[in-house]
Each structure stands twice: as structure tokens, then as C-alpha cells.
Structure 1
Amino acid sequence: MHELVSIRVNGQTLTVRTGLTLGELVTQWGLPARGLLVEVNQEVLPQNQWPTYALQQGDVIELVRITAGG
């Protein structure tokens, strides 16, 4: 049985399995990595760290799509 942790993603509280990585979360949300900015606890996390960052109890995640235009 997997233990669970509670996190917030874009203001929404979610319960996820312990050990879920940020990369897996992005994939589950169906977001393409290109043009995506990810902030964990108010710090931008580089894309190369997403596959190894295991989500922790209380993490606050912001997923922001960067788009061109104006």
C-alpha cells in the first residue's frame, strides 16, 4: 500500500502517492514540458530536476504555461 501526501497544485489541494515525482505529475496533467514553468514552494525548479524531485507533504506547486504574444 502506498502512503499518501497532500500537496497544492495551482491552488487545488491534491492527495498523491509518496514518491511521485514532479515529472510524473506534469505528465499526469497532460502538460507538454516545452513552455512550462514550474515553481515549487516559490522557487523555479529547472526542467532537468523534474524527474528526480519527489513531491513532499505540503509542497505548493505552480504550473505556468509560457506563451508568446502580446
Structure 2
Amino acid sequence: MILLGLGLLRYYTAAEAQAAHYLWLFGFILTNGYIFYLQKRMGVSRKILRIQTAVFVISIGAGGYFINFG
């Protein structure tokens, strides 16, 4: 999921399509939220879900920063 998100971010940054940038971000957040919902229903502990969420947010944020400003 992280590689897909960074790849999409890189593509839309290169294409400079501002509206498409927000559209993929919204869809990616919805998809990721649904995956977390399914993991919660399967019985994955809250601690693992929080660690996974933190890693996701940090990696997408850092990747987006370096792609846009690096």
C-alpha cells in the first residue's frame, strides 16, 4: 500500500494535476481505512493497527515531502 501510494503521488506530482492529486489521496485513504476495518474484524490487535497507521502516515508524509521539495 505504501509503495502504491508513493507511486501515485509521484505520478500526479509529475503531471501537475492538482484536482487529481486530491482525488487519489481521498481514494487511497478510503481504501486504507477499509483494509484497517477488515483487519479489525479479523481480530488483529489495536496495538498492531496503531503501529501500522503510524508507519503509513510517516512514510506517506516523508515520501510526499521529498518528492515535492527534494
TM-score (norm 2): 0.25
Higher-helix-fraction structure: 2
Q: Which has the higher contact order (CA 8 A, sep 6+)?
A: 2
TM-score (norm 1): 0.25
Higher-strand-fraction structure: 1
Structure ID, larger Rg:
2
